[in-house]
Amino acid sequence: MLRSIFRTVTPVVSTFRTASSSLAGRRICTRFVTPVRLYSSESVDKNEITTRVIDVIKAFDKTAASKEVSPQTAFHKDLGLDSLDTVELLVAIEEEFDIEIPDKVADELKSVGETVEYIASNPEAH
């Protein structure tokens, strides 16, 4: 049965070959094809991280919504979050960027700026 399939296939291949060779004779297109690397995007840049972090903070209903959030904003002093709320916020940020912030690092993060720094230094963030 396989042989019968091959037998039917061969003529198609030969016609294709002649078609392509006639194309090659005219030399179309080849010059315009430049290789493009389709990698997934590189780690996100800092401004974008900042805006996304701020968006997450704004979605958190325990923060004072009217407050302006900037990179200098501290979680405890400016947003009025206690340590448990801060933990909750950090979990949300982890989810947003799909990363794991180790507990020791997370204990040291006290402001928006520090968090952004950490995410920018993490190659897995996206």
Partner 1 sequence: MGPLQSEALHAYKAVIKAMVRSNKKSKIALRLGEKKQEIAVLTYKRMNVVREMNVKNIDVLRKSRLVRDLQSLNRKVETLKNSDPSRDRKLHFIEDSGSIKKEFLSHALNERNIIHFKDVASFLTNQREYDELIERYNPGTKLSQEEIVKRTAERVGLNVPFQ
Q: Does 84 participate in binding partner 1 (rule CB under 8 A)?
A: yes
Q: Does 15 participate in binding partner 1 (rule CB under 8 A)?
A: no
What whole-number distance in Å separates Cα of residue 120 and Cα of residue 94? 13
Which has the closest alpha carbon to 69: 97, 95, 80? 80
Q: Environment class of residue 92 by beta-carbon count within 10 Å: exposed (0-12), middle (13-18) or buried (19+)? A: middle
Q: Does 107 participate in binding partner 1 (rule CB under 8 A)?
A: yes
Nearer CB in complex with partner 1: 26/103: 103
Active-site annotation holds for 82:
yes
Residue span binding partner 1 (CB under 8 A) among the ranges 16-24, 35-43, 93-101, 109-117: 93-101
Residue 116 and residue 46 in contact, taking contact as beta carbons nearer than 8 Å: yes
- Output the six-digit token pair for 112: 């928006």
Nearer CB in complex with partner 1: 42/98: 98
For the annotated catalytic residues, the residue numbers are: 82
Binding site for partner 1 (CB under 8 A): 55-56, 58-62, 83-85, 87-88, 90-96, 103, 106-107
